[in-house]
Chain A
Amino acid sequence: MITFDDVSKVYPGQKKAALRHVNISIDKGEFVFLVGASGSGKSTFMRLILREYRPTSGRIYVAGKDLSQIRQWKVPDLRRQIGTVFQDFRLLPGKTVFENVAFALQVTGRPMAEIRRTVPEVLELVGLKGRETRMADELSGGEQQRVAIARAFVGKPKILLADEPTGNLDPNTSVGIMKLLDRINRRNTTVVMATHDATVVDQMRRRVIELIDGQVVRDQKKGVYGTD
């Protein structure tokens, strides 16, 4: 589903590479934790998948497509196959829960009938049934993240990228969010989650990829956060 073939990334004007000779292959339906200190290259890894940047060298394949071959105007098509969730939720504060989720479908030109059918389904999946008309900024952090996940998942993406999704949440709420991500993963969605949260990684026991200074130092099935 995602393949990094000897990928390096050096940002313009910087000497140090953000990623160095990364070779990673993530299969369809896998759940992968991306761990490492701040600045170790986790975010760069995510952004390369989204094709926000191009790698300095090497090739990246996402959902069967070579990203270096994708034309600029085809990038939106790629992003429709990838759902993205962030630490800071990135909701639209003036809109309701329903509108926030529907937004992702509206702006990609889906018909109104489909929106009315799909959005309540997804809101039920993330456990926000009955909250459709609440304003997004009135919700608790955990609920806001559920809205964000609903928005990322409503387009039925093949891949879900989560960048520190539990970073702003307390441990109990985090457990709920992880259960939700697990449920989405069981629906045959590949999940890649960058995190600092050792507890979460240790509980889930999924594949762990660790980055230090832009290099992959560990790739472990059913791994834990620490290196012990």
Chain B
Amino acid sequence: MRHTLSETWLSLRRNVSMTISVVVTMWVSLSLFGISLLMMQQVNMMKGYWYDKIEITVYLCTTLSGGSTQAGTCEPGQETTDAQRQLIQQQLEANPDVYSVIYESKEQAFAEFQQTYKNSPILGTLTVDQMQDSFRIKLVDPQNYQGVVSRAQTMQGVQSVQDLRQVLDPLFSVLNGLRWGTMILAVLLLLAAALQIGNTIRLTAFTRRREIGIMRLVGASNSYITLPFLLESLVAGILGVAAAAATLAVALQFLVIDRAQVSIKSLAWIGWHEFFFAILVLGVVGVILAVIPTLIATRRYLRV
């Protein structure tokens, strides 16, 4: 054991520049990998948060609607009649998937609009008639939204049906794209790190080939011969994982916990729980990336 440890230490010192380069590559690639893991969890959290609150809005016809292809079931230039409106409300309330239906008249919508854009110059550009009457629908199970949406679309006097998903999905697809981009970059860098470890170990094994030859001759077991190499690359790998963990921790604290969480309170943000999950994955990936290239690189010298 003492021999193994001293060999490992000696080899790390002899290859100090290679060790540093391996650690840095591991550090950067694992950090990127960790970022993509954290992003994935953030997107999932936001999906869970919003999709749980999904409301469906059914917009009714106005005098301005109709005539175009997006006018739903509106008669051109005709508002939804009171009878149609009542029928729509009855049908919606009869649906077992619907939890509640709230009617919002265009006057209410206009008032809310004025409230929201109190200080904005956009305020003067809209009139009450440009707003729409609508039904706000809450669902029993927000995951089952499609049936309600498609039924509402066929009712007479409905201009359009909107659910929150249509608004959020483009956002999520951008976030997902970013995540995959980071992931691909991370994988490429991880591959480079693995090859680098393989080369470093090959070099070390080559400089020690005489010793390895004697070890094999006198009957040292393969595991005994491989152990110093494994330890060497494991040390480099673990240093890389530790550096990446520190980087991610700093990023999480300063970017998410101190800033994003404070300024955008209405969203669910990732925290230390998600961080530890990501670090666990990084640790496993780091160890695998250190061990496998080492085993491949030393196999040649162990072949009997």
Chain B residues with CB below 8 A from A212, complex form: none
Chain A residues with CB below 8 A from B210, complex form: 90, 92
Return the chain B residue nearest A84 by Cβ.
B217
Does B156 sit within 8 A of A, measured CB to CB? no
Does A52 sit within 8 A of B, measured CB to CB? yes
Chain A residues with CB below 8 A from B222, complex form: 73, 76
**A51 CB to closest chain B CB, in angstroms?**
7
Return the chain A residue nearest B304 by Cβ.
A75
**B221 engages A92 (CB within 8 Å):** no
**A92 engages B214 (CB within 8 Å):** yes
Chain A residues with CB below 8 A from B213, complex form: 90
Task: Specify which of B215, B219, B224 is in contact with A78 (CB 8 Å cutoff).
Answer: B219
Q: How long is the Cα–Cα vector from A53 to B222 in the complex, in angstroms?
A: 17
**A71 CB to closest chain B CB, in angstroms?**
11
**B217 engages A106 (CB within 8 Å):** no
Does A103 sit within 8 A of B, measured CB to CB? yes
Does A108 sit within 8 A of B, measured CB to CB? yes
Does A228 sit within 8 A of B, measured CB to CB? no
Chain A interface helix/strand/loop/mixed: helix
Mask, B199-219, CB within 8 Å of A = 1, is: 000000000001101111111
Indicate the member of A73, A75, A106 with the most B CB atoms within 10 Å.
A106
Does A104 sit within 8 A of B, measured CB to CB? yes
**A76 engages B211 (CB within 8 Å):** no
Does A155 sit within 8 A of B, measured CB to CB? yes
Chain A residues with CB below 8 A from B304, complex form: 51-52, 72, 75
Does B220 sit within 8 A of A, measured CB to CB? yes
Does B3 sit within 8 A of A, measured CB to CB? yes
Q: How long is the Cα–Cα vector from A182 to B3 in the complex, in angstroms?
A: 34
**B218 engages A79 (CB within 8 Å):** yes
Task: Specify which of B211, B216, B217, B224 is in contact with A109 (CB 8 Å cutoff).
Answer: B224
Return the chain B residue nearest A80 by Cβ.
B219
**B274 CB to closest chain A CB, in angstroms?**
43
**A76 engages B220 (CB within 8 Å):** yes
Does A77 sit within 8 A of B, measured CB to CB? yes
Chain B residues with CB below 8 A from A109, complex form: 221, 224
Q: A51-B304, A52-B304, A106-B3 are in contact. Are A73 and B214 (CB under 8 A)?
A: no
**B299 CB to closest chain A CB, in angstroms?**
12
Chain B residues with CB below 8 A from A155, complex form: 218-219
**A76 engages B214 (CB within 8 Å):** no
Chain B contact-residue range equals: 10 to 19
**B152 CB to closest chain A CB, in angstroms?**
70
Chain A residues with CB below 8 A from B215, complex form: 107
Chain A residues with CB below 8 A from B3, complex form: 106-107
Mask, B216-246, CB within 8 Å of A = 1, is: 1111111011000000000000000000000
Chain A residues with CB below 8 A from B219, complex form: 76-81, 108, 155
**A154 CB to closest chain B CB, in angstroms?**
9
**B218 engages A104 (CB within 8 Å):** yes
Return the chain A residue nearest B224 by Cβ.
A107
Does A151 sit within 8 A of B, measured CB to CB? yes
Return the chain A residue nearest B1 by Cβ.
A109
Q: How long is the Cα–Cα vector from A155 to B214 in the complex, in angstroms?
A: 14
Return the chain A residue nearest B223 by Cβ.
A73
Chain A residues with CB below 8 A from B225, complex form: 107
Chain A residues with CB below 8 A from B224, complex form: 107-109
**A217 CB to closest chain B CB, in angstroms?**
30
Chain A residues with CB below 8 A from B220, complex form: 76, 107-108
**A97 CB to closest chain B CB, in angstroms?**
15
**A5 CB to closest chain B CB, in angstroms?**
21
Mask, A77-91, CB within 8 Å of B = 1, is: 111110010000010
Measuring CB to CB, which residues of chain A are less than 8 angstroms from any residue of chain B? 50-52, 72-73, 75-81, 84, 90, 92, 103-104, 106-109, 151-152, 155
Q: List 18 A-B contacts (CB under 8 A).
A: A52-B304, A75-B304, A76-B222, A78-B219, A79-B219, A80-B218, A80-B219, A81-B219, A84-B218, A90-B214, A92-B210, A92-B214, A104-B214, A107-B218, A108-B218, A108-B219, A108-B221, A155-B219
Measuring CB to CB, which residues of chain B are less than 8 angstroms from any residue of chain A? 3, 210-211, 213-222, 224-225, 304
Counting from the closest, the 7 A-B pairs by CB-CB distance are: A80-B219, A79-B219, A107-B220, A104-B218, A76-B219, A76-B221, A107-B215
Please name 10 further chain A to chain B contacts, defined as beta carbons within 8 Å, in addition to the given A76-B222, A77-B219, sorted by A numbering: A52-B304, A73-B221, A78-B219, A80-B218, A90-B214, A90-B217, A104-B214, A107-B215, A107-B218, A108-B218
